[in-house]
Amino acid sequence: MTRNTETAIFAGGCFWGVEYMLSKLPGVRSVESGYIGGKTQNPTYEEVCSRRTGHAEAVRVTFDPQQVSYEEVARLFFEIHDPTQLNRQGPDIGDQYRSEIFYTSEDQRRTAEKLMAELRARGFAVVTRLTPASTFWPAEDYHQRYYERKGTLPYCHVYTKRF
């Protein structure tokens, strides 16, 4: 029996760390690194790093909503990157490292708005953008499952409890 899945797309700095951290969540079936939110068709890593395409480094998360809700995935997203940093995460600087949620449904949009409001009420100056999903371009193969393949841990993504 095939289970239904949902898709969520998050940008929170270097996609290697976001991919690694979200892939550990029970109920997540796959996480794919890629690019979204820009104007170039099928951009390359070098083009995105040039800061001329407008794309963000992002991850496309496929999850089983019977095991984990979109809200749980989004909460973890807000706790594995700093949603108060504009166009950067730690040592990575540039608009391709922005904090952005690319929602795929109105339910996702409402949930993200609720979580951002909750963080603001807790004193966080959230700069995360909320944008309808557009074309997601998978990154080159050498970016997929980067930390898993290298046998190392993320250097700029750590869990920080915010909720």
Provide the annotated active-site residues.
14
Phi first, then psi: give them for residue 93, nearest 5 degrees: -120, 135
* E strand residue ranges, 16-64: 28-36, 56-63
The separation between CA 96 and the C-alpha centre of its own chain, rounded to angstroms, equals 12
The separation between CA 11 and the C-alpha centre of its own chain, rounded to angstroms, equals 3
* Widest distance between CA atoms in the chain: 45
d(CA 7, CA 86): 25
Phi first, then psi: give them for residue 61, nearest 5 degrees: -105, 125
Q: Which two tokens stand for residue 40?
A: 């170039």
